Amino acid sequence: MSSATERLEPALRSNADALLAYLERRIGPDDAPDALAEVMTVAWRRERDLPAESDQARMWLYGIARNVLANAHRSRVRRHRLAHRLRILASAAPSAAADDGAEVRSAIAALDPGLAEIVRLRHWEGFSLAEIAQILDEPASTVRSRYSRAREQLAAALGEPTEAASSSRVRS
Amino acid sequence: MTHTLDERLDSSAPATTAPTADRAEALRHLISATGPRRRTRLRAGAAVAGGLALLGVGSVAAADAWGWTSWWADDAVSEVTYTLPSGAVCEGILGNFRGAAEEVQAAEEFMAQPDLLDRVDVETHYADARAANYVAILDDGIEVDAGPGTPYWSADDRYAQAVGLATSDALHDHLRDVGVLERLSYEAESRCPGLVPAELRSREIRSDW
């Protein structure tokens, strides 16, 4: 087994739950297992590109997942036989309690898609802006300014006070 | 607004399915099933008669370049690469396994073994092919010998068939041994350039192999 293979399997194991949750949030629990199978297949195919550091590997996997999602949005997610059991389990598993964030999700969805993705990665997946810049393969300064713009638009849409958008909670 | 807005954004994430032990197991299986094991190429055992060898070299990217057309190609269980007697490289994929669940699982695991060719006797099958009787039917209806050494013999074609037969036989023997053989079927797609000489393509050749 190659060194990359030896590193990829633990990277997939440690990130599989988070990747599945990420995909479920984007395309729903029914299609997410198939998308995850595609993410894993692509990751194995590109295993030689796996970064050495675990944090970087995590960003790399999310980058693959993001590309898979882009393809999934263009065409219906292909059904993977390999994901069948996971799909059954996911549909049978109790979901988290229904949340009351519909209004906020609508406001996020109304943003420019690029801004919305930054907000989702920051607040739904818990990435720092520096990490998001890596996933999106964009300069960190660009991501920071776009995030700031997104917050201003969200504050206006949700009736929040339009103060300065900078936040001590923003990790960068 | 920062605190309230952050809280609202943080709590707006759509609900996700709950992790369970079964789900964790399914994820582990998915990682394994999508990994290199299922993309294993048949590796060389001992070199077989005539200096032939089965290769385990080459990259997945190179295999992908073949542009498989089968609908199940992306979920192929194995990729096969071997050299033909002519020196040409033949590649194939195996997939779309159908049958009882236990049968399919056992078959896929067997075919994905890195040392599969240790269990696949291509040499014997190819020797059987060479020892068989072949008759070509010429345009005027005359029957002539079409075995090795004649213009109608394609070592590449027979060798590729021997690989397929040896693999299939080994698989079915294994499924019988573990008691799950019922109604298994699977498909293969192969690309073997120059496998059959043009003059043989339309020629009827009978054999007892």
Q: CATH number for the domain including A105?
A: 1.10.10.10
Cβ of B75 within 8 Å of Cβ of A98? The answer is no
User: A21 and A10 in one domain?
Assistant: yes
B interface mutation test: which of A75, A79, A89, A129 has the most B CBs within 10 A? A89
More confident residue, B144 or B9: B9
Report the domain count for chain B: 1
| Domain membership flag for residue B176 | yes
Q: Mind listing the pLDDT tens digit for each residue in A28-74?
A: 888 888 889 889 988 887 888 899 899 999 999 999 999 888 876 65
In order of A154, B75, B79, B117, the CA distances from B114 in angstroms are 54, 17, 11, 8
Tell me: do A8 and A89 sit in the same domain: yes
Of A104, A108, A163, the CB nearest to B1: A163
Instruction: Pick the range with the lowest mean pLDDT from A132-136, B41-45, B152-156.
Output: B41-45
Domain presence at residue B138: no
Q: Are A17 and A86 part of one and the same domain?
A: yes
Look up residue B164 and give its amino acid.
G
Q: Do residue A114 and residue A49 come from a single domain?
A: no
Which 110-149 residues of chain A touch chain B by CB within 8 A? 119, 122-124
* Cα–Cα separations (whole angstroms), residue A33 to A82, A88, A90, A119, A120: 9, 9, 8, 23, 20
The H-or-E segment that residue B95 falls in is strand B89-98
Greatest mean pLDDT among A2-11, A56-65, A76-85? A56-65
A window 48-87, beta carbon within 8 A of B: 78, 80-83, 85-86
Angle in degrees, 0-180, between the axes of helices A113-123 and A129-136, rounded to the nearest 10 = 130
- Indicate if ipTM > 0.85: no
Answer yes or no: do A156 and A168 share one domain.
Answer: yes
